[in-house]
Amino acid sequence: MHVRTLVSPAVLVLCCFVASALSSCGPVNSNAAIQQAEKRLAEARETGVQNTKYKAGYHYLRAELYLHKAKEEEGYAEFQHAVAFANQAEREAKYAIEQMDQEKRSKAADEKRSTAKPAPKKAAPAKKPAKAKPKSTPKKNTTTGTP
């Protein structure tokens, strides 16, 4: 007697392929997010943001630390956390770049103001002389009658 199988071998192979593809999404996503964050950090380094001591340097350092944590989480196969840390690293690096651009624009504007010719000063109106206070006369001592 011939037993009929419920699932054909082709369907079984297809299911195995889909299952393996779905299980590899975590590593693929985390690796892609980490690469994107590294790319953004490289852009930040090109602007010289790591040498500044202002707000941009703070965000650059945060981005580096988040990226380090993302790689650590990926090493422990915590792919969701790795993606979250990598995305945060990318946001911080992007913000550092924006802050650095703003600091450069502000510094350029300050230099432009300092090198510009100052406007000629208008002559101040003459001040009126203060009124002299009259000297007070000494009061008489009522008990002795002398001033």
Q: Is residue 48 part of a domain?
A: yes
Q: Is residue 82 part of a domain?
A: yes
Percent residues over pLDDT 70 in the chain: 63
More confident residue, 127 or 39: 39
Q: Is residue 134 part of a domain?
A: no
CA distances from 28 to 63, 65, 69, 143 (A): 21, 21, 17, 107
Q: Is residue 146 part of a domain?
A: no
Q: Could you tell me which of 51, 136, 33 has the C-alpha nearest to residue 96?
A: 51
Q: Is residue 62 part of a domain?
A: yes
User: Coil, strand, or helix at residue 123?
Assistant: coil
Q: Could you tell me which of 55, 71, 73, 67 has the C-alpha nearest to residue 91?
A: 67
Overall pTM > 0.85: no
Domain of 97 in residue numbering reads as: 29-112
End-to-end CA distance of the chain: 147
Q: Return the pLDDT at 109.
A: 86
Q: Is residue 123 part of a domain?
A: no
Q: Is residue 65 part of a domain?
A: yes
Q: Return the pLDDT at 130.
A: 66
Directed axis angle between helix 25-46 and helix 79-115, to 10°?
10
Q: Is 52 exposed, middle or buried (0-12, 13-18, 19+ CB in 10 A)?
A: middle
Q: Is residue 34 part of a domain?
A: yes
Number of structural domains, the chain?
A: 1
| pLDDT tens profile 92-126 | 999 999 999 998 888 888 888 887 666 666 666 66
